[in-house]
Chains A and B, each alone.
Chain A
Amino acid sequence: DGGITQSPKYLFRKEGQNVTLSCEQNLNHDAMYWYRQDPGQGLRLIYYSQIVNDFQKGDIAEGYSVSREKKESFPLTVTSAQKNPTAFYLCASSSRTATNTEAFFGQGTRLTVV
């Protein structure tokens, strides 16, 4: 089955730690995105990548880093510089053609700082 897989589902981070969230897709999509969702809030764009080995900052990139070494993979690292990382993190992908731009999501990673 084609889809997007995020892991882990739940993640606990200690103060000062870096953690990496995994996102893998087998939909052959060029574009991949990371969003953050806080309770009662919409989705805010952290980073996006439209092609392998290229990525761009979104609206709230500070304290986060990404890589796109393979088309299928777009991991997100939440660094210690992110002061309020507790949130629901969603990875998405899309084919990004002019007529087919809908995004599909992974199941999300719920990150909690302890």
Chain B
Amino acid sequence: RKEVEQDPGPFNVPEGATVAFNCTYSNSASQSFFWYRQDCRKEPKLLMSVYSSGNEDGRFTAQLNRASQYISLLIRDSKLSDSATYLCAVSAPGGSYIPTFGRGTSLIVHP
């Protein structure tokens, strides 16, 4: 079983739709969780950290479910500019906090 798993998609949604991605992790000792956005042929950029209480940044909401070992990203009112690959990252103290990435979920927002 891979340490961090994501559905590669693509998720094909119309503008204005709400879309959600999940990311499961296998290491129950994981403590740090992040969502990154990666545009085609560019580097990943930090979108948001995921806190135990969940967090929201505008149209984006991230949540953590420790019991089921997954994190989620919800995007409301999708924009064309949201089209990208979304990578989740997980790190654990036992792993020296080295970020382990999922393979990413591709989102395509169409008019």
Contact = CB atoms under 8 A, between A and B. Distances in A.
B42 A33 contact: no
Contact of B44 (A41, A43, A98): A43
Interface string B50-93: 00000000000000000000000000000000000001010101
A98 B96 contact: no
A19 to B, nearest CB: 19
B44 A102 contact: no
The interface size bin for chain A is: 20 to 34
Contacts of A94: 97, 99
Contacts of B41: 88, 110
Interface residues of B, number: 25
A21 interface: no
Name which of B44, B89, B96 has the most chain A CB atoms within 10 A of its CB.
B44
Contact of B46 (A31, A90, A104, A106): A104
A103 B89 contact: yes
Interface string B26-44: 0000011010000001111
A42 B43 contact: no
B22 interface: no
Contact of A92 (B4, B42, B99, B103): B99
B83 to A, nearest CB: 16
Contact of A43 (B8, B96, B101): B101
Contacts of A98: 31, 93, 97
Interface string A73-114: 000000000000000101010101010011111111010000
A110 B91 CA distance: 26
Nearest to B101: A43
A33 B43 contact: no
Interface of A: 31, 33, 35, 40-43, 45, 48, 50, 58, 88, 90, 92, 94, 96, 98, 101-108, 110
Interface of B: 4, 8, 31-32, 34, 41-46, 49, 87, 89, 91, 93, 96-104
8 contacts: A40-B8, A40-B103, A42-B4, A42-B87, A98-B31, A101-B91, A103-B46, A105-B44
